[in-house]
């Protein structure tokens, strides 16, 4: 399996509880390397654009409000099979369904405030990385 990049967000519920380091430790311990990182407060337009695929879903408005409720940490992660590996370490969307030992099982507050985002496929990863990072901001 080749080295891949994926896109990750540490969400506002986690920055609020000051547990970004704990989450990054889980990612690094799984063999993922942080090759780009910035802490920002998303605008409403950025959050709506990023989650545009969900705009018809009933939870869209609440999700956008949550994502702009505090700072987030945007990251590009690199490693072998990075997309799948990140999803594995994150756990299922709903923390009630997340496998023991995953980030969401251990840290998420709810299905919405679930601490992390991770790209679901290599193509999505490329689009999401481009949405937030310039090439020169990624330092492998
Ligand atoms: N979400 C929500 N309610 C739901 C499903 C999802 O608030 O019923 C939020 C949650 O924060 C999730 C995000 O919307 O992480 C994107 O949903 P997706 O199904 O893409 O899950 P993910 O890929 O993040 O596991």
In 3D, which of 13, 62, 61, 20 has the Cα closest to residue 39?
Answer: 20
Q: Give the single-character DSSP code of 129.
A: H
135: exposed, middle or buried (C-beta count within 10 Å: 0-12, 13-18, 19+)?
exposed
Known catalytic residues are 117
Tell how far the Cα of 130 is from the centroid of ligand 1, in angstroms: 21
- List pocket residues of ligand 1, CB cut-off 6 Å: 59, 63, 93, 111-112, 114, 117, 120
**140 falls within a domain:** no
pTM: 0.98
Q: Indicate the helix (H) or strand (E) that contains 104.
A: helix 103-107
3-state secondary structure of 112: coil
Looking at residues 45-58, what average pLDDT do you find? 98
Domain count, the chain: 1
Please report, for the domain that includes residue 47, its CATH number.
3.30.70.141
Q: Whose CA is nearest to atom 22 of ligand 1?
A: 93
In a domain, 91, yes or no: yes
* Tokens found for residue 138: 């990624």
Range of the domain at 92: 3-135
- What confidence tens digit (pLDDT) does each residue in 62-97 have? 999 999 999 999 999 999 999 999 999 999 999 999
Predicted confidence at residue 67, as pLDDT, reads 98
- Residues 12, 72: contact at Cβ < 8 Å? yes
Q: Examine residue 112 and state whether it is found in any structural domain, yes or no.
A: yes
Is residue 37 very low, low, confident or very high in pLDDT (cuts 50, 70, 90)?
very high
| Ligand 1 mean position, distance from CA 30 (Å) | 23
Structural tokens at position 9:
């967000």
**Residue 40, both tokens:** 């920002």
**CA-closest candidate to residue 76, choices 127, 6, 23, 11:** 6
């Amino acid at each position: 399996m080749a080295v891949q990049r994926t896109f990750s967000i540490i969400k506002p519920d986690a920055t609020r509880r000051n547990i970004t380091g704990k989450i990054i430790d889980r990612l690094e311990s799984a063999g993922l390397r942080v090759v780009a990182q910035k802490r920002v407060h998303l605008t409403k337009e950025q959050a709506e654009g990023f989650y545009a695929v969900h705009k018809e879903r009933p939870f869209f408005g609440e999700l956008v409000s949550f994502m702009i409720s505090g700072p987030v940490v945007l990251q590009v992660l690199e490693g072998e099979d990075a997309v799948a590996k990140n999803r594995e370490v994150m756990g299922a969307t709903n923390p009630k369904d997340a496998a023991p030992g995953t980030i969401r099982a251990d840290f998420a507050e709810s299905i919405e405030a679930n601490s992390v985002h991770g790209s679901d496929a290599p193509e999505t990863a490329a689009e999401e990385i481009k949405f937030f990072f310039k090439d020169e901001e990624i330092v492998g």
